[in-house]
């Protein structure tokens, strides 16, 4: 890992101008979250290796990052040439790879953002045998850390979707996490221009422990025939001020990710009624209706 950071530069600057806690970041998983994390890490001056299973997936990830950067640039810069330079500089800091092994030897921080499946995550950490702060939605960090040898350098970073827009980062320590590691993860959050909060290594941390049961109760409400999908979404947007209703948000997060979260919780806490599986969610995932990413979820989307 890199030396401790000396100071922070809050606004966008080139890597040469910033003093970040980490210089080079490896992000494993180039899906919704990994792409967003790689984008923000690069736009805040880090060099980034983005790793996924094959180059087709990585091509899609880089396309998505480019489009998202163009949206950010439009908002950030009045001068189109400055916006174009920002996009080009940021893209130039991201390289891609299909194996993490080559990247981790020269990286300062590894962030895992692959599918929400404990066995898959543990297998990856066994392969890495290194430090890899984890972007899990719901799996206790301690359970994933079982596969890591150097647990003092292990911690949880929970980003939110879409990463470029959501200001929060949950930073989770396990008993074995050293103070130095925890402090550096908090510093990394600041470098990424996020507000950090911390909590115990409990299921769903703060946000998902409250948000996911709410989203699932919306699904159960529709399963019971109490209200329609559209009316629940309208109600929560106009009556509770949420930017998206629970069904729009479920499609945005990914119904497979929602199911992974719920399956993990219901297996570990079978007596908690908030974590009960949903047959509607199970059926939709089995049909490949995963939300925006598959072109259909609770709503249809243009592919």
Ligand X SMILES: NC(=O)c1ccc[n+]([C@@H]2O[C@H](COP(=O)([O-])OP(=O)(O)OC[C@H]3O[C@@H](n4cnc5c(N)ncnc54)[C@H](O)[C@@H]3O)[C@@H](O)[C@H]2O)c1
Binding residues for NAD(+): 29-34, 52, 116, 121, 137, 161, 293
Please confirm, yes or no, whether 137 is among the known catalytic residues. Answer: yes
31 touches ligand X by CB under 6 A: yes
Which of 249, 255, 281, 290 is the binder for ligand 3HC (CB under 6 A)? 249
With respect to ligand X, which residue has the nearer C-beta, 80 or 288? Answer: 288
Please confirm, yes or no, whether 158 is among the known catalytic residues. Answer: yes
137 touches ligand X by CB under 6 A: yes
- State the binding string over 35-54 for ligand 3HC (x if CB under 6 A, else -): --------------------
Which of 164, 198, 221, 276 is the binder for ligand 3HC (CB under 6 A)? 164
Residues 68 and 42: beta-carbon distance below 8 Å: no
Residues 264 and 137: beta-carbon distance below 8 Å: no
Binding partner of residue 34 among ligand X, ligand 3HC, none, CB cut-off 5 to 8 Å per kind: ligand X
Scanning 8-16, 67-75, 90-98, 119-127 for contacts with ligand 3HC by CB under 6 A, the matching segment is 67-75
Please confirm, yes or no, whether 248 is among the known catalytic residues. Answer: no
277 touches ligand 3HC by CB under 6 A: no
Scanning 69-77, 117-125, 177-185, 294-302 for contacts with ligand 3HC by CB under 6 A, the matching segment is 69-77
What are the Cα distances from residue 24, in Å, to 105, 195, 208, 237, 254? 11, 21, 29, 40, 29
With respect to ligand 3HC, which residue has the nearer C-beta, 41 or 253? Answer: 253
32 touches ligand X by CB under 6 A: yes
Size of site (CB under 6 A) for ligand X = 26
| Residue ranges in 166-205 that form contacts with ligand 3HC under rule CB under 6 A | 166
Please confirm, yes or no, whether 112 is among the known catalytic residues. Answer: no
Binding partner of residue 29 among ligand 3HC, ligand X, none, CB cut-off 5 to 8 Å per kind: ligand X
244 touches ligand 3HC by CB under 6 A: yes
- Which listed residue (35, 49, 135, 137) is catalytic? 137
Which of 53, 55, 63, 287 is the binder for ligand X (CB under 6 A)? 53
297 touches ligand X by CB under 6 A: no
Nearest residue to 200 via CA among 141, 143, 266: 141
HEC profile of the chain: CCCCCCCCCCCCCCCCCCCCCCCEEEEECCCHHHHHHHHHHHHCCCEEEEECCCHHHHHHHHHHHHHHHHHHHHHHCCCHHHHHHHHHHHHHCEEEECCHHHHHCCCCEEEECCCCCHHHHHHHHHHHCCCCCECCCCCCHHHHHCCCCCHHHCCEEECCCCCCCCCEEEEECCCCCCHHHHHHHHHHHHHCCCEEEECCCCCCCCHHHHHHHHHHHHHHHHHCCCCCHHHHHHHHHHHHCCCCCHHHHHHHHCHHHHHHHHHHHHHHCCCCHHHCCCHHHHHHHHCCCCEHHHCECCCECCC
Which residues form the catalytic set? 137, 158, 170, 208
> Which residues form the interface with ligand X (CB under 6 A)?
28-34, 51-53, 57, 113-116, 120, 124, 135-137, 159-161, 253-254, 257
């Amino acid at each position: 890992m890199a030396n401790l950071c000396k100071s922070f530069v809050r606004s966008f600057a080139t890597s040469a101008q910033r003093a970040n806690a980490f210089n080079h970041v490896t992000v494993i998983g180039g899906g919704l979250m990994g792409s967003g994390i790689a984008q923000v890490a690069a736009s805040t001056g880090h060099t980034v290796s983005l790793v996924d299973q094959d180059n087709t997936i990585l091509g899609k990830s880089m396309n998505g990052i480019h489009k998202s950067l163009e949206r950010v640039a439009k908002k950030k810069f009045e001068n189109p040439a400055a916006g174009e330079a920002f996009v080009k500089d940021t893209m130039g800091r991201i390289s891609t790879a299909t194996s993490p092994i080559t990247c981790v030897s020269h990286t300062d921080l590894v962030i895992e953002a692959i599918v929400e499946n404990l066995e898959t995550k543990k297998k990856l950490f066994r392969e890495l045998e290194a430090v890899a702060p984890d972007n899990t939605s719901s799996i206790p960090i301690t359970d994933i850390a079982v596969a890591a040898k150097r647990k003092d350098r292990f911690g949880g970073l929970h980003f939110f979707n879409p990463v470029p827009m959501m200001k929060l980062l949950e930073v989770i320590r396990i008993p074995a996490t050293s103070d130095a590691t925890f402090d550096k993860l908090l510093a990394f959050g600041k470098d990424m221009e996020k507000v950090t909060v911390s909590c115990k290594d409990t299921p769903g941390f703060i946000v998902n422990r409250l948000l996911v049961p709410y989203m699932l109760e919306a699904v159960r409400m529709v399963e019971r025939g109490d209200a329609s999908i559209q009316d629940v979404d309208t109600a929560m947007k106009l009556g509770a001020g949420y930017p998206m209703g629970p069904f729009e948000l479920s499609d945005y997060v990914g119904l497979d990710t929602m199911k992974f979260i719920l399956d993990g919780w219901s297996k570990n806490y079978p007596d908690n009624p908030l974590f009960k599986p949903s047959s509607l969610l199970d059926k939709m995932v089995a049909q490949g209706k995963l939300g925006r990413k598959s072109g259909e979820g609770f709503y249809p989307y243009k592919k």
